[in-house]
Amino acid sequence: MTIDEIKERVERIKACGGDYEAAHEHEDALHKDVLRAIRDGECEAPQACAAEALKTLELDFIRYCA
């Protein structure tokens, strides 16, 4: 997994607009995928990838689990 791939996914989450359920689902998937890539040694720069993925937490949308 590359930082550019993560940036693209963060942008897709931003693009969800008012669909906070989709944004939250994509955010959860991104965080899990980054953790798995780090675990499996498939991340080009683990700390930088984690930092990039965590930028989604700065996005303003409702997060909840039913």
**What's the total number of domains in the chain?**
1
pLDDT confidence of residue 17: 74
pLDDT confidence of residue 50: 97
Structure tokens at 53: 């993925």
Structural domain containing residue 31: 3-58
Q: Is the pLDDT of residue 48 over 80?
A: yes
The span from the CA of 38 to the CA of 58, in Å, is 22
Read off the pLDDT band of 10 (50, 70, 90).
Answer: very high
Q: Looking at 1-10, 43-52, 56-65, which range is the least confident one?
A: 56-65
Helix ranges restricted to H, the chain = 3-14, 20-39, 46-53
Q: Is residue 65 part of a domain?
A: no
Q: Is residue 25 part of a domain?
A: yes
Q: Is residue 63 part of a domain?
A: no
Q: Is the pLDDT of residue 43 over 80?
A: yes
Q: Is residue 64 part of a domain?
A: no
- Span 15-36, pLDDT tens digits: 997 899 999 999 999 999 999 9
Q: What angle do CA 2, 42, 24 make, to 5 degrees?
A: 60
